[in-house]
């Protein structure tokens, strides 16, 4: 095609070059301080992320520095693939997720006021129905990104996991809401600010961990530990989700980027 022809991708590239589209990184830094989900006894836990030095411009490698990485799959900002859950055991591993589903419209839902009053709050179907009646329908292939304010605890493992003698207290979803998202909405997945896509107390729900159960069983995907959602408009951003394609992997640390118009007023409803 002629070089001067305007295409949809050239329009995006022009907007990136001029700064009218900004790229926001929604990914938490990955280090040995990254908060990791802690399952209660008798369940087994993943290892934390760590770097192991192999050389550092020294005798084992005089001109270079490199590390081995040690990590669980579900550490930091990461994606859950269908085979992570028993309901999706016949489904895709993380390397098999269609790239077309990893790029799509971001919709940002702000439920900070609910979570501020109650860290155990469960978002329910009626919250999503009220939200849609106010703001509009979710676009096809969307990623629903839930703001709960939990990002503010991302540098403090204790506050982020919020565990006491009665378990973990972080916001999530009712089983009915998880089923509604999985079965009624034409979306690719959800993203949350917390350490997991279910609430801290979701082991006591029926089924246990219902967002995992319904979402992953319906070939939809979940992303955790997102940050910078305050940089995005309610509608109009494009999400780019880039997990490591680990063959047989049930999930993977994931870089999550969002392209958003520079001048969009934050968190305002579409007129
Ligand atoms: Mn996970």
Q: The domain containing residue 153 runs over which residues?
A: 26-46+73-261
Dihedral in degrees, nearest 10, Cα atoms 181, 187, 188, 191: -60
Look at residue 267 in the predicted model and tell me its pLDDT.
45
Residue 2: inside a domain: no
Look at residue 264 in the predicted model and tell me its pLDDT.
59
Distances (CA, A) of 256 to 102, 201, 210, 242: 10, 26, 24, 6
3-state percent helix, strand, coil for the chain, nearest multiple of 5 = 25, 30, 45
Residue by residue, pLDDT tens for the chain (271 residues) are 556 678 999 999 999 999 999 999 999 999 999 998 888 889 999 999 999 999 999 999 999 999 999 999 999 999 999 999 999 999 999 999 999 999 999 999 999 999 998 999 999 999 999 999 999 999 999 999 999 999 999 889 999 999 999 999 999 999 999 999 999 999 999 999 999 999 999 999 999 999 999 999 999 999 999 999 999 999 999 999 999 999 999 999 999 999 999 975 544 444 3
Q: Rounded CA gap, 225 and 197, in Å?
A: 9
Q: Rounded CA gap, 3 and 239, in Å?
A: 27
Provide the domain count of the chain.
1
Residue 38: inside a domain: yes
127 is known as an active-site residue: no
Q: Rounded CA gap, 176 and 72, in Å?
A: 30
Task: Give distance in angstroms: CA of 74 to centre of ligand 1.
Answer: 4
Q: Rounded CA gap, 256 and 242, in Å?
A: 6
Pairing of strands 167-168, 163-164: antiparallel
Look at residue 1 in the predicted model and tell me its pLDDT.
53
Residue 57: inside a domain: no
Residue 68: inside a domain: no
Task: Give distance in angstroms: CA of 232 to centre of ligand 1.
Answer: 24
Residue 54: inside a domain: no
Task: Give distance in angstroms: CA of 28 to centre of ligand 1.
Answer: 14
CATH of the domain at 176: 3.50.30.50
Residues 6+ apart with CB under 8 A from 90: none
Residue 98: inside a domain: yes
Residue 118: inside a domain: yes
Residue 247: inside a domain: yes
Of 24, 74, 84, 212, the active-site residue reads: 84
Q: Ligand 1 is a single-atom ion; what residues have CB below 5 A from it?
A: 74, 80, 251
Q: What is the largest CA-CA distance in the chain?
A: 66
pLDDT digits (tens, 9 = 90+) for 123-166: 999 999 999 999 999 999 999 999 999 999 988 999 999 999 99
Task: Give distance in angstroms: CA of 196 to centre of ligand 1.
Answer: 6
Q: Rounded CA gap, 101 and 216, in Å?
A: 14
pLDDT digits (tens, 9 = 90+) for 173-184: 999 999 999 999
């Amino acid at each position: 095609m002629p070089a001067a022809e305007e295409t949809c991708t050239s329009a995006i590239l022009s907007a990136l070059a001029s700064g009218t589209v900004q790229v926001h990184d929604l990914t938490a830094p990955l280090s040995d301080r990254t908060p990791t989900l802690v399952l209660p006894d008798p369940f087994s836990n993943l290892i934390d992320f760590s770097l192991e030095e192999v050389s550092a411009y020294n005798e084992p490698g005089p001109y270079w520095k490199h590390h081995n990485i040690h990590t669980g799959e579900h550490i930091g900002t990461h994606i859950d693939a269908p085979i992570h859950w028993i309901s999706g055991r016949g489904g895709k591993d993380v390397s098999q997720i269609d790239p077309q589903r990893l790029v799509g419209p971001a919709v940002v839902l702000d439920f900070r006021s609910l979570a501020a009053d109650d860290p155990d709050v469960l978002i329910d179907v009626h919250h999503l129905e009220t939200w849609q009646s106010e703001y509009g329908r979710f676009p096809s292939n969307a990623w629903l990104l839930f703001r709960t304010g939990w990002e503010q605890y991302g540098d403090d493992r204790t506050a982020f996991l919020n565990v006491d003698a009665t378990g973990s207290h972080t916001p999530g979803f009712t089983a009915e809401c998880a089923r509604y998202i999985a079965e009624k909405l034409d979306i690719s997945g959800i993203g949350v600010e917390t350490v997991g896509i279910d609430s801290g107390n979701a082991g006591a729900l029926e089924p246990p961990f219902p967002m995992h159960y319904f979402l992953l069983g319906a070939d939809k995907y979940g992303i955790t530990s997102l940050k910078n959602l305050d940089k995005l408009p309610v509608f109009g951003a494009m999400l780019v989700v880039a997990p490591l394609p680990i063959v047989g992997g049930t999930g993977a640390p994931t870089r999550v980027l969002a392209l958003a118009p520079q001048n969009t007023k934050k968190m305002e409803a579409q007129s």
